[in-house]
């Protein structure tokens, strides 16, 4: 794209760029050229009367967006009208003149990614999706925020075609967009070839002051600047209003200077002026050496005579009277709801033809690519489809020796990285400790985007959000690691991954007091249970090397939700079978060994399975038949049929759980739990296990107490 336009337009020269773009979509004359090129044509000029027609249609289109947003929010009597009303011009400019997308195939791989980080402005996105021809009917718009609609209060990728990700929790969209831009840059570096720019798209987002105040966005902005993600563009809706009133209440950043300090290309514009937005987007797209921030000054609730520019238009319906007044002020028919004139719809729907053309051109380019590079095309095509290659798990390692599961994980990663070119990993400044490095994979850096190891820095939250963006982008399976205790820093993004059915893999090592001397600030206690409580998150805590390899396979097999792999710092003995791909761990819990007619089951996870094995030996020596159950995954176990669950843990079997974390929650499976319900301490790990009573002797004692309690009950 850059090849055609050798230099950016003189920014001092006003050119009727937006006007021309309107003409483009009216006349359909220029879909052969990507939008930025059109500006060249402006130098020849157009007659005033033609421009007037274009200008009127543009303004009508923008006001139709505003009208839909006002009406939908008013009908639901719930929602956020102000943001769509203020952002309609910039969103119009972006979608009509710059974004590359095909409404008839929202999953076209080479589309530009668009993220509405300010998710409360969902009606802006829904209006655009409906107007440009995505599978989102006007009835859905009329059902805004109603049960079963495709127009929930905040955008959800699982509900609405064309929505790239769920947004609403502020900062998440910004940070995941950074991940999408990483994915694009990485895939382009690895799969594009001279004259074959098969991966080539922008990632654009609209964010609010609220997004920019969030730490996760600040981390991500710093990361994006470091990585020089030149095809990432953030439009900042600078409306100077927050829920509580003026941003002056809490926000004094010099945002332009701030982003410049982070290495971004920064522009400040009038966001209500389509031409200014167009010009800024062209410049942002031409500046590919750095990510771009466009600070767009807007008026929240624009058009509302009594609520524009005020927090009153932010988070509630305007009210029927104010809606009428606003429509009058905007030149919309006052008493018509969901007003949508045909010329405006036709104008927006031109995106279909444009998009189909763009996609078909890309498909043709893909065919040429496949001809010249059949192996690459086959590999990339498979990755885009999200299929794993045949035999991908054949080489999974097995383990016979005692070793830390973080070490087993790292060895497994090496094997998987060979089999799966889509595997890309990263770490929050603990690469060696957590063991996430793909050896020989190189670092993903600004100058080496083909690298398969991301250095996220001490930015756990941005890492988790970026992993979501990379996995949502597609073509990659992205994982990232830190210590389990710092999963707290990632939690909003982990939850969102679960909600989005996004298969991010979070690798959390140093999973208990077993990390020893670093002490209670670093020792997870409640984390395993807190993660298990998140719906649709697989929490896998393997007991040894073989289970670790099996858990990696389980994580990669998951396509509809994230996985947290929970790993030890310390070595654990090898206890479980070596058939790692068909490992019984895949069913979540299984009988490791059992006497006939056991009286008690000892349920262990991770590093505590060995204590169950040890305790079982003692109990057997004492004449008590028992069973040892390894339970790496509650989620997988609970997905089994009742029969299997009963087979492993019959209802009439006494159960004791053993896990070096809170006992909270274990009452679901066990009458007694050996665990830790207080904060840890700083000391060598073996001493801590003694101190907190996580020992085989205590397991034996717990069993005797339990049996004696039940014996009493039976009396």
Q: Which residues are catalytic?
A: 460
Question: E strand or H helix at 54, and its extent?
Answer: helix 48-76
The one segment of 81-89, 490-498, 611-619, 640-648 that binds a second copy by CB under 8 A: 490-498
At residue 478, φ and ψ (nearest 5 deg) are -110, 135
- Site track for a second copy across 168-197, x = CB under 8 A: xxx---------------------------
Report which of 203, 284, 241, 239 is spatially closest to residue 89, judged by C-alpha positions.
239
Residues 605, 632: contact at Cβ < 8 Å? yes
Does 310 contact a second copy by CB under 8 A?
no
| Strand-pair partners of 572 | 403
CA-to-CA distance for 679 and 519, rounded, in angstroms? 9
The one among 65, 94, 123, 455 contacting a second copy by CB under 8 A: 455
Q: Which one of 45, 215, 400, 650 is in contact with a second copy (CB under 8 A)?
A: 215
693 binds a second copy (CB under 8 A): no
**3 near a second copy, judged by CB under 8 A:** no
Q: Is there binding between residue 207 and a second copy (CB under 8 A)?
A: no
Distances (CA, A) of 355 to 42, 50, 96, 243: 23, 25, 11, 37
**Bridge-partner residues for 204, per DSSP?**
114, 233
Q: Is 603 in the site for a second copy (CB under 8 A)?
A: no
Least distance CB 154 / a second copy (angstroms): 5
12 binds a second copy (CB under 8 A): no
- Residues with Cβ within 8 Å of residue 524, at least 6 apart in sequence: 483, 484, 485, 487, 510, 511, 512, 661
Q: Which helix (H) or strand (E) holds 674?
A: strand 672-674
Query: Please, are residues 623 and 664 in contact by the beta-carbon 8 Å criterion?
Result: no
Q: What sign does the CA torsion over 655, 657, 663, 668 have?
A: negative
Instruction: In angstroms, give the least distance from the CB of 80 to a second copy.
Output: 10
Query: Residue 221 or 550: which CB sits closer to a second copy?
Result: 221
Decide if residue 639 touches a second copy (CB under 8 A). Answer: no
- 185, 201, 218, 347: which one contacts a second copy (CB under 8 A)? 218
Quick one: which segment of 15-23, 183-191, 213-221, 277-285 binds a second copy (CB under 8 A)?
A: 213-221
Q: Using the rule CB under 8 A, give the single segment among 38-46, 345-353, 529-537, 574-582 that binds a second copy.
A: 529-537
Phi and psi based region of residue 133 (left: phi greater than 0; alpha: psi -120 to 50; beta: remaining): left
With CB under 8 A as the contact rule, the residue among 36, 89, 121, 153 that binds a second copy is 153
Task: Tell which positions 251-290 bind a second copy, by CB under 8 A.
Answer: 251-258, 260-263
Of the pair 263, 606, the CB lying nearest a second copy is at: 263
Measured between alpha carbons, how far is 692 from 686 in angstroms, rounded to an integer? 10
User: Both tokens of residue 342?
Assistant: 């045909």
Q: Among the candidate windows 14-22, 131-139, 623-631, 661-669, which touches a second copy by CB under 8 A? A: 661-669
Instruction: Give the separation between CA 484 and CA 568, rounded to whole angstroms.
Output: 10
Q: Which stretch binds a second copy (CB under 8 A): 64-72, 208-216, 558-566, 593-601?
A: 208-216
Pairing of strands 563-566, 403-404: unpaired
Say whether residue 429 binds a second copy (CB under 8 A): yes
Convert residues 21-60 into a mask of x (bound to a second copy by CB under 8 A) and - (unbound).
Answer: ----------------------------------------
682 in contact with a second copy (CB under 8 A): yes
Residue 533 within binding range of a second copy, rule CB under 8 A: yes
Nearer to a second copy, 88 or 266 (CB): 266
Cα–Cα dist 526/662, whole Å? 5
> Cβ contacts of residue 195 below 8 Å, gap of 6+?
none
Told to check if 62 binds a second copy by CB under 8 A, we report no
By CB under 8 A, the count of residues binding a second copy is 106
Provide the minimum distance between the beta carbon of 17 and a second copy in the complex, in angstroms, as a whole number: 31
Max distance between CA atoms of the chain, in angstroms, equals: 100
């Amino acid at each position: 794209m850059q090849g055609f336009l050798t230099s950016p337009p003189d920014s001092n020269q006003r050119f009727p760029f937006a006007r021309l773009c309107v003409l483009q979509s009216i006349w359909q004359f220029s879909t052969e050229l990507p939008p930025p090129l059109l500006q060249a044509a402006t130098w020849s000029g157009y007659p005033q009367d033609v421009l007037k027609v274009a200008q009127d249609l543009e303004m009508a289109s923008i006001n139709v967006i505003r009208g839909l947003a006002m009406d939908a929010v008013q009908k639901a009597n719930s929602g956020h009208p102000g943001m769509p009303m203020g952002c309609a011009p910039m969103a119009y400019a972006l979608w009509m003149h710059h974004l590359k997308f095909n409404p008839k195939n929202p999953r076209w791989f080479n589309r530009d990614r668009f993220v509405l980080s300010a998710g409360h402005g969902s009606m802006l996105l829904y209006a655009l999706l409906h107007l440009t021809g995505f599978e989102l009917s006007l009835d859905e718009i009329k059902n805004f925020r109603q049960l079963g609609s495709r127009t929930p209060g905040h955008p959800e990728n699982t509900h609405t075609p064309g929505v790239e990700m769920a947004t609403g929790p502020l900062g998440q969209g910004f940070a995941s967009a950074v991940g999408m831009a990483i994915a694009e840059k990485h895939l382009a570096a690895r799969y594009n070839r001279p004259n074959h720019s098969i991966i080539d798209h922008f990632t654009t987002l609209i964010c609010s002051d609220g997004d920019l105040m969030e730490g996760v966005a600040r981390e991500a902005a710093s990361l994006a600047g470091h990585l020089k993600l030149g095809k990432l563009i953030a439009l900042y809706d600078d409306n100077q209003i927050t829920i509580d009133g003026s941003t002056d209440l809490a926000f004094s950043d010099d945002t332009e200077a701030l982003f410049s300090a982070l290495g971004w290309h920064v522009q400040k514009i009038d966001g209500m002026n389509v031409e200014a937005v167009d010009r800024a987007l062209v410049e942002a797209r031409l500046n590919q050496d750095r990510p771009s921030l466009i600070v767009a000054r807007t008026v929240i609730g624009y058009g509302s005579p009594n609520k524009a520019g005020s927090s009153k238009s932010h988070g509630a319906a305007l009210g029927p009277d104010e809606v009428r007044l606003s429509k009058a002020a905007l030149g919309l028919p006052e008493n018509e709801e969901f007003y949508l004139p045909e010329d405006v719809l036709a104008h927006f729907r031109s995106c279909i033809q444009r998009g189909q053309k763009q996609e078909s051109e890309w498909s043709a380019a893909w065919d040429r690519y496949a001809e010249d590079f059949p192996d690459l095309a086959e590999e990339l095509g498979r990755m885009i489809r999200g299929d794993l290659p045949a035999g991908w798990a054949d080489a999974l390692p097995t383990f016979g020796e005692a070793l830390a599961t973080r070490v087993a994980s790292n060895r497994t990663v090496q094997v998987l990285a060979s089999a799966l070119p889509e595997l890309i990993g990263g770490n929050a400044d603990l690469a060696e400790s957590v063991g996430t490095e793909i050896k020989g994979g190189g670092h993903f850096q600004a100058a080496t985007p083909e690298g398969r190891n991301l250095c996220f820095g001490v930015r756990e939250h941005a890492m988790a959000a970026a992993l979501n963006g990379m996995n949502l982008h597609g073509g990659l399976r992205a994982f990232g690691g830190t210590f389990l205790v710092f999963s707290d820093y990632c939690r909003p993004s982990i939850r969102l991954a679960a909600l989005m059915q996004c298969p991010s893999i979070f690798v959390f090592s140093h999973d208990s007091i077993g990390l020893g001397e670093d002490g209670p600030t670093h020792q997870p206690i409640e984390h395993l249970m807190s993660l298990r409580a998140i719906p649709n998150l697989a929490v896998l805590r393997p007991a040894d090397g073989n289970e670790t390899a099996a858990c990696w396979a389980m994580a990669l097999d998951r396509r509809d939700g994230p996985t947290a792999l929970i790993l030890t710092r310390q070595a654990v003995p090898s206890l479980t079978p070596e058939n790692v791909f068909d490992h019984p761990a895949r069913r979540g819990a299984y009988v490791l060994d059992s006497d006939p007619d056991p009286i008690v089951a000892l349920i262990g996870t991770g590093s505590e399975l060995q204590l169950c094995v040890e305790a079982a030996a003692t109990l057997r020596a004492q004449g008590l038949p028992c069973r040892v159950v390894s339970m790496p995954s509650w989620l997988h176990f609970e997905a089994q049929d009742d029969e299997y669950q009963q087979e492993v843990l019959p209802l009439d079997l006494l159960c004791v759980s053993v896990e070096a974390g809170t006992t909270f929650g274990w009452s679901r499976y066990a009458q007694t739990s050996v665990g830790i319900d207080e904060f840890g301490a700083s000391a060598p790990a073996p001493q801590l296990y003694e101190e907190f009573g996580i020992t085989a002797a205590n397991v034996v004692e717990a069993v005797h107490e339990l049996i004696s309690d039940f014996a009493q009950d039976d009396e």
